[in-house]
Amino acid sequence: MIFKKPGSPAGSEAYGGCPGMDSLAVMMQDVLTQNHALRRENNELMDQVWRLLCEKANLLAQVRLPTYLVVFNGDPARLPDFLIQAASYVNFFETRFSNDTLKVAFVISCLSGPAEEWVVPYMERESPILGQYERSVDALKRAFGRNG
């Protein structure tokens, strides 16, 4: 799109005789052309992002989420494996376990027998440790670890 004084012929006279208007008009045309090309490229990139998001959603829909069936009953020999599996599960499903309280609640839900009995006093007094994942794991290690 070239801007010119209505009814004027092409050339420097086309812009009311203002010096430099021809070069400004050319620069403006270049800017508009670049803008159009960038908009087209942006639209193509947005389409590609949309396709990739759809592909990701389809792939995630095909994945079967594993159920967590490991239970810790207080056996010191099983504690390291239990903690590794629980941490792996929590890390894999990090959106489900977005804070320490949710992580601790998950670990507690996997306790049975003596380990479950061990956590009851913490729950009854609403201990702050229940909102601190690392401290809860450390307490579990102290209570049921081979050196505990």
The predicted structure's pLDDT at residue 148:
53
From first to last of its 148 residues, the chain has per-residue pLDDT tens of 555 555 555 554 555 567 678 888 899 999 999 999 999 999 999 999 999 888 888 877 776 656 666 899 999 999 999 999 999 999 988 888 999 999 999 999 999 999 999 999 999 999 999 999 999 999 999 999 876 5
For the entire predicted model, the pTM comes to 0.55
Q: Which is nearest to 104 in space by CA: 125, 119, 84? A: 119
pLDDT the model gives residue 10: 54
Q: What is the pLDDT of residue 58?
A: 81
Per the rule left: phi > 0, alpha: psi between -120 and 50, beta: everything else, 9 is: beta
Helix and strand numbers (H, E) in the chain are 5, 0
